[in-house]
């Protein structure tokens, strides 16, 4: 094991030209964590490094989630056969520049990383029956050209609005640009009433793109089954509760719900899915 | 001696002029933005030239992004810039920080980042052999918005006290009733003064008074900035035209008056008594007793809690 504070390397991966996929825990629908977990599971990712937490997280105790004590983790996995590095972490609470540079230090110095894929989510006010989109923001015109042959919405114009701040993903993409690492920040919109649960379709959208782009050859039949099950659960919710059906039907007709109706829909769907649907 | 600041952080100079007998005037945002408005007004009126800046990325989270046609064009960070102005052998170096470097959502800097930032600013003061450092901020006081704000001056050396005693409309902490010469200057406007002392610079923090009932409002308080500038410009023996600051003050005073009229009559009655506080002889007790002072502060706090914030 070697120490290059704040990085701890357990094993040196043998990579020639890798891609780094990065997902955050605790984002909308916990999608970043789920997608990176899935990649590690299916591609037999092996943990080889981590970032020490003390400079980046408040360590005044532990958080409890789903009955379990949680501790901030920032771990690197390698899927050797696919020249793929997977980084999973909770978003740091401070010293972001140092943290993001530590991630790219591991990628560049130990993994010969040539491309960066950053996972993100956003809230959508469309129904779950609408196809999921995948939005992309790149850090170079060359990367845009490379990705133009994929099913991505990549012509977005955006400027930070008053009271808002850029995302950590944008910060990382900008630092990668400074290091001449081509990168893309991927954004998948998740229907607002699924954000606290999961959205298997959104996961599939991101994984499908990565599968194609990185030539991972993953068979998604297990994920397709989860999507079917989730859609069936939501269909049962619609048939049992006319109010849910009414709200979702209006979303399907591109109508907006009131704030109160949004809240009702979220609560009813979450209660229904938690009870096992 | 320069502090060990690590290789990731640095100062980028646009030019390195020869300066004569300079002083440094620095400020960051704070309550009522009193200090930063004062310093930035002086910088603008004197048409100071840009000198350099502290590289922001290790101190700040970005504040603005621009994406065009799906490509990240740029990320903007809060700036921390130096300027200079030559004034016949009494040159001035300005430092203006758009934000205080903070961690975990705190408004005022503290800890390692704040200390590093203060040291970087003083590295520049050392580079140009500045003989003195001024900072500026706010002093929350039991005063009224129609009363001319005083300036509380805190030096970092005993030897500066006689000079400060000669300034108009200025008090030392020992002049403030009930303070006994004690107090605290929060954030970098205060920390810089302490680090300056540690590194052997003489320094003074000039704090303009802001009424206690305005400290939590999202309003600047240029009236106090004017008071700070009066003291500062006299101390530096320079004359500047502050018409623009007066105009800003008139606009803000109108908004303050609108807010003031929304305060319940009973509390406003208490606050109105602050109009009578006279500072002609600051060591003498004013027309408000200690008991009444306590009650006024309690009433104001209750009012803001009821309004759902404001603090």
Strands B23-27 and B92-97, bridge-based pairing:
parallel
- Whether residue B71 and residue A173 make contact (CB cut-off 8 A), yes or no, is no
pLDDT of residue A69: 79
DSSP string, B132-185: EEEEEEEEEES--TTSPPPEEEEESSGGGHHHHHTSTTEE-GGGSTTTTT----
C-alpha B89/C-alpha B18 separation (Å) is 11
Q: For each of the domains in chain B, give its residue range(s) and CATH number, in order of start.
A: 19-249 (3.40.50.10900)
| Chain-chain contact of B69 with A139 (C-beta, under 8 angstroms) | no
A133 and A230 both lie in a single domain = no
Cβ separation B103–A96 shorter than 8 A: no
Q: Indicate whether A192 and A140 sit together in one domain.
A: yes
Give residue A253's domain range. Answer: 225-274
Measure A53 CA to nearest chain B CA, in Å: 15
CA distance A201 to chain B (A): 23
With CA atoms as reference, the chain A residue closest to B61 would be A96
Contact in structure between B79 and B11 (CB atoms under 8 Å): no
The verdict on A232 and A211 lying in the same domain is: no
How much is the ipTM here?
A: 0.87
pTM confidence score: 0.83
Kindly report, residue by residue over B171-189, the tens digit of the pLDDT. Answer: 998 777 666 667 778 888 8
A155 CB neighbours in chain B (<8 A) are 69-70
Cα-based distances in Å from A198 to A31, A227, A246, A269: 7, 10, 22, 12
Residue from the list A94, A138, A166 with its beta carbon closest to the beta carbon of B71: A138
Mean pLDDT over the full length of chain A: 93
Clarify whether residues A158 and A239 are in a common domain. Answer: no
- What's the confidence (pLDDT) of residue B266? 84
- Answer yes or no: do A50 and A67 share one domain: yes
Distances (CA, A) of B182 to B155, B172, B288: 13, 10, 21
Across B51-80, average pLDDT: 94
At A15, give phi and psi (nearest 5°): -130, 150
For B42-64, the pLDDT digits (tens) are 999 999 999 999 999 989 999 99
The pair phi, psi for residue A6, each rounded to 5°, is -90, 25
Please give the angle made by the CA atoms of A240, A242 and A245, to the nearest 5 degrees. Answer: 95
Measured in degrees and rounded to the nearest 5, phi and psi for residue B110 equal: -160, 165
Residues of A in contact with B69 (CB under 8 A): 144, 155-157
From CA B301, how far away is CA A110, in angstroms rounded? 56
Provide the token pair at B137: 């901020």
Same domain, A81 and A177: yes
Strands (E), chain B: 11-13, 23-27, 49-54, 64-68, 71-76, 80-85, 92-97, 132-141, 151-155, 170-171, 202-211
Nearest CA in chain A to B64: A160
| CB nearest B75 (choices: A136, A170, A185) | A170
* Candidates B5, B60, B72, partner chain A, best to mutate (most A CBs within 10 A): B72
Residue A39 tokens, joined: 């990649």
User: B33's torsion region: left (phi>0), alpha (psi -120 to 50) or beta?
Assistant: left
Tokens of B14: 């646009």
CB pair distance less than 8 Å for A96 and B67: no
- Sheet of B202-211: strand order equals B11-13, B49-54, B80-85, B92-97, B23-27, B132-141, B202-211, B151-155, B170-171
Residue A210 CA, distance from chain mean position: 12
Q: Are A214 and A236 part of one and the same domain?
A: no
Q: Tell which of A58, A93, A94 to mutate to test the B interface (max B CBs under 10 Å).
A: A94
Q: What is the DSSP string of A54-79?
A: TTTS--SS-EEETTEEE---EEEEEE
pLDDT at B279: 53
Q: Are residues A204 and A253 in the same domain?
A: no
Cα(B117)–Cα(B54) distance, integer angstroms? 8
User: Among B44-48, B256-260, B263-267, B298-302, which is the least confidently predicted range?
Assistant: B298-302
- Work out the number of other CB atoms within 10 angstroms of the CB of residue B6: 10
- Please check whether residues A114 and A207 belong to one and the same domain: yes
CATH of the domain at A204: 3.40.50.10900
Do A229 and A172 reside in the same domain of the chain?
no
B208 contacts B229 by C-beta, under 8 angstroms: no
Do A81 and A150 belong together in one domain?
A: yes
Q: Do the chains contact at A166 and B75, CB–CB below 8 Å? A: yes
Residue B64 and residue A166: Cβ atoms within 8 Å? yes
B70 and A170 in contact by Cβ < 8 A? Answer: no
Q: Which of B262, B264, B273 is nearest to B296 (CA)?
A: B273
CB B27 within 8 A of CB B232: no
CA-wise closest residue to A181 among A121, A112, A135, A120? A112
Chain A residue numbers with beta carbons less than 8 Å from the beta carbon of B57 are 97
The pLDDT score that the predictor gives to residue A61 is 78
Closest-CA residue of B relative to A93 is B104
Does B103 sit within 8 Å of A95, measured CB to CB? yes
Residue B260 C-beta-side C-alpha neighbours within 13 Å: 18
- Nearest by CB to A94, from B64, B75, B103: name it: B103
Q: Give A-chain residues touching B64 at CB under 8 angstroms.
A: 159-160, 166
A42, HSE (Cβ side, Cα atoms, 13 Å)? 19
- For B113, nearest residue in chain A (alpha carbons): A95
- Token couple for B53: 């800046």
Length of chain B: 311
Which residue, A218, A242, A260, sits at the end of a domain? A218
Q: Chain A: residue nearest B78 by CA?
A: A165
Give tens-digit pLDDT for A213-247. Answer: 999 999 999 999 999 999 999 999 999 999 999 99
Q: Can you tell me the distance from the alpha carbon of B39 to that of B62, in angstroms, rounded to the nearest whole number?
A: 24
Percent of chain A clearing pLDDT 70 (strictly above): 99
**Structural contact between residues A1 and A10, judged by C-beta atoms closer than 8 angstroms:** yes
Q: Work out the burial of residue A118: count CB atoms within 10 Å of its CB; fewer than 13 is exposed, 13-18 middle, 19 or more buried.
A: buried
Report in angstroms the alpha-carbon separations of A253 from A124, A129, B212: 15, 11, 54
The residue out of A218, A243, A264 marking a domain boundary is: A218
My answer on whether omega of the bond before A6 falls inside 30° of 0, hence cis, is: yes
Same domain for A115 and A250, yes or no, is no
Task: Report the run of H or E that residue B115 belongs to, with start and end.
Answer: helix B111-127
Q: What is the pLDDT of residue B6?
A: 35
Question: For the segment B129-159, what is each residue's pLDDT rounded down to a tens digit?
Answer: 999 999 999 999 889 999 999 999 999 999 9
Count the domains in chain A. Answer: 2
Last residue of a domain, one of A173, A201, A218: A218
Residue A142: pLDDT above 90? yes
* pLDDT value at B7 more than 80: no
Interchain CB distance below 8 Å, B72 and A137: yes
- A interface with B, Cβ–Cβ < 8 A, is 58, 93-98, 101, 136-141, 144, 154-160, 165-166, 170-171, 173-174, 177, 185
B75 vs A95, A158, A174: nearest CB:
A174
Cβ of A58 within 8 Å of Cβ of B104? The answer is yes
The mean pLDDT value for A197-216 works out to: 96
How confident is the model over B82-101, as a mean pLDDT?
94
Question: What is the torsional sign of CA A185, A191, A192, A193?
Answer: negative
């Amino acid at each position: 094991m070697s120490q290059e504070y704040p990085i701890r390397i357990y094993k040196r991966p043998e990579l020639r030209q890798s891609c780094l996929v990065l997902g955050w825990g605790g984002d909308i629908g916990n999608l970043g964590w789920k997608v990176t977990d899935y990649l590690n599971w299916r591609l037999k990712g092996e943990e080889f490094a981590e970032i020490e937490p003390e400079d980046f997280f408040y360590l005044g105790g532990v958080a409890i989630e789903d009955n379990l004590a949680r501790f901030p983790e920032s771990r690197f996995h390698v899927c050797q056969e696919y020249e793929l590095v997977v980084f999973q972490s909770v978003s740091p609470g401070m010293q972001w520049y140092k943290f993001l540079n530590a991630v790219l230090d591991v990628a560049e110095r130990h993994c010969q990383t040539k491309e960066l894929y950053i996972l993100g989510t956003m809230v959508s006010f469309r129904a779950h029956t609408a196809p999921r989109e995948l939005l992309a923001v790149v850090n170079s015109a060359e990367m845009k050209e490379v990705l133009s042959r994929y099913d991505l919405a990549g012509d977005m114009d955006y400027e930070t609005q008053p009271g808002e701040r850029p995302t950590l993903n944008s910060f990382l993409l900008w630092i990668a640009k400074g290091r001449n690492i081509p990168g893309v920040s991927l954004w998948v919109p998740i229907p607002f009433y699924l954000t606290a649960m999961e959205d298997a379709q959104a996961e599939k959208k991101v994984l499908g793109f990565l599968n194609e782009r990185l030539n991972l050859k993953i068979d998604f039949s297990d994920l397709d089954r989860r999507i079917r099950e989730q859609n069936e659960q939501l269909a049962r919710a619609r048939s049992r509760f006319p109010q849910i059906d009414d709200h979702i039907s209006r979303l399907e007709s591109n109508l907006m719900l009131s704030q109160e109706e949004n809240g009702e829909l979220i609560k009813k769907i979450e209660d229904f899915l938690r009870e096992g649907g | 001696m320069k502090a060990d600041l690590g290789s990731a952080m640095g100062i980028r100079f646009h030019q390195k002029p020869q300066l004569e007998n300079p002083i440094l005037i620095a400020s960051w945002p704070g309550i009522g933005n009193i200090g930063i408005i004062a310093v930035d007004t002086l910088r603008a009126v004197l048409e100071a030239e840009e000198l350099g800046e502290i590289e922001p990325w290790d101190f700040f989270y970005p504040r603005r992004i621009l994406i065009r046609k799906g490509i990240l064009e740029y990320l903007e960070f809060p700036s921390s810039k130096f300027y200079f102005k030559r004034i016949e052998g009494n040159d001035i170096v300005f430092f203006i920080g758009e934000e205080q470097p903070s961690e975990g959502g705190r408004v005022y800097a503290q800890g390692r980042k704040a200390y590093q930032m203060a040291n970087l600013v003083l590295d520049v003061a050392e580079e140009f052999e500045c003989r003195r450092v001024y900072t500026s901020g706010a002093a929350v006081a039991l005063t009224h918005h129609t009363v001319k704000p005083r300036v509380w001056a805190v030096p970092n050396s005993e030897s500066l006290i006689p000079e400060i005693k000669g300034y108009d409309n200025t008090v030392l902490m020992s002049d403030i009733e009930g303070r006994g010469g004690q107090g605290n200057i929060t954030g970098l406007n205060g920390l810089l003064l302490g680090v300056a002392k540690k590194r052997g610079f003489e320094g003074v923090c000039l704090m303009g008074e802001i009424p206690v009932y305005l400290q939590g409002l999202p309003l600047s308080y240029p009236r106090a900035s004017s008071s700070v500038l009066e003291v500062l410009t006299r101390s530096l023996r320079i004359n500047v035209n502050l018409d623009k600051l007066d105009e800003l003050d008139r606009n803000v005073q109108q908004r303050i008056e609108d807010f003031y009229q929304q305060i319940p009559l009973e509390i406003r009655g208490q606050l109105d008594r602050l109009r009578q506080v006279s500072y002609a002889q600051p060591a003498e007790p004013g027309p408000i007793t200690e008991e009444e002072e306590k009650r006024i502060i309690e009433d104001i706090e209750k009012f803001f809690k009821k309004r759902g914030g404001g603090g």
